[in-house]
Amino acid sequence: MSTELIKLDYPPIIEAIVDIDCDMPPGFEAGTEIARAQELFGKDYPLVKKRYLHSQEFEGKVGESPKLKSADVTIQSLLFQKKEEDQLIQIRQNGFSFNRLTPYTSLDDYLPEIERVWLIFAEHFSPLLVRRVGLRYINRIALPLENGKIELDDYLKSGPKLPTDSHLQFAGFMHQQQLIEQETGNVANVVLTTQPTENEKLPLIFDIGTTNENSFEPSNWEQVKISIESLRKLKNHIFFDSLTEKCRCLFQ
């Protein structure tokens, strides 16, 4: 069965992010564009936040403690969020992002809005070239414990393994892989990690980030959409083929 056709009743997605990285015009500073961005997006995304980048430079000689030479704080991105706080857009120093938080339905439901806000961004902020498209899904899966224990192989087809015939058991883990899809050149960064147990369940964070580097004109929405769909297909393949049927039943 094609994973593209599987629809989950209760998707474990806590955040989905579309990143469109661009070459911006010389002199572009996200931090100076608050007023114009509010005029363009404020009606639908009235809550405004700023994300800062802190940088420090040290100098020193061998055998001496390093001394702070300079420190700088700049606005890296402007975040515009809906009143419901379940959706936001970002005007970043190197591009644009769309974030959807829980509750999440389907990417198909959000693509028209992604197209609308992206084309407004492209028209008014004049990115020179799209360099990279990224699609990232952060899932939180609550795995049930039995007598305080869990057999991970019941839920994961691939993941961390204990030594054979070991008397050990996991207290927690972080498992990371970087993959490349040879046919498309798409790259995936996959992270599996645990959170502290709660209510007799082990929360598992399944973070799948996929990227495509392929330069094209910012006004070419069809190419943006093609890149997103290609990344979505890869993400679905990794997600569904990494989980057992028993695990997938948790979302139905």
Report the distance separating Cα 197 and Cα 186, nearest Å: 34
Q: Quickly state the pLDDT bin for 68 (edges 50, 70, 90).
A: low
The pLDDT assigned to 133 comes to 98
Report the distance separating Cα 95 and Cα 18, nearest Å: 11
**Would you kindly state where each structural domain of the chain is located, as residue ranges?**
7-60+77-251
Q: pLDDT for 165-200, tens place per residue?
A: 667 777 778 889 999 999 999 999 999 999 998 888
pLDDT (average), residues 96-102: 97
The pLDDT assigned to 226 comes to 97
Q: Which residues lie across from 243 on neighbouring strands? A: 156
Bigger pLDDT: 38 or 58?
38
User: Could you count the other beta carbons within 10 Å of the beta carbon of residue 28?
Assistant: 17
Give the predicted TM-score (pTM) of the model.
0.88
Chain-centre distance for alpha carbon 26: 27
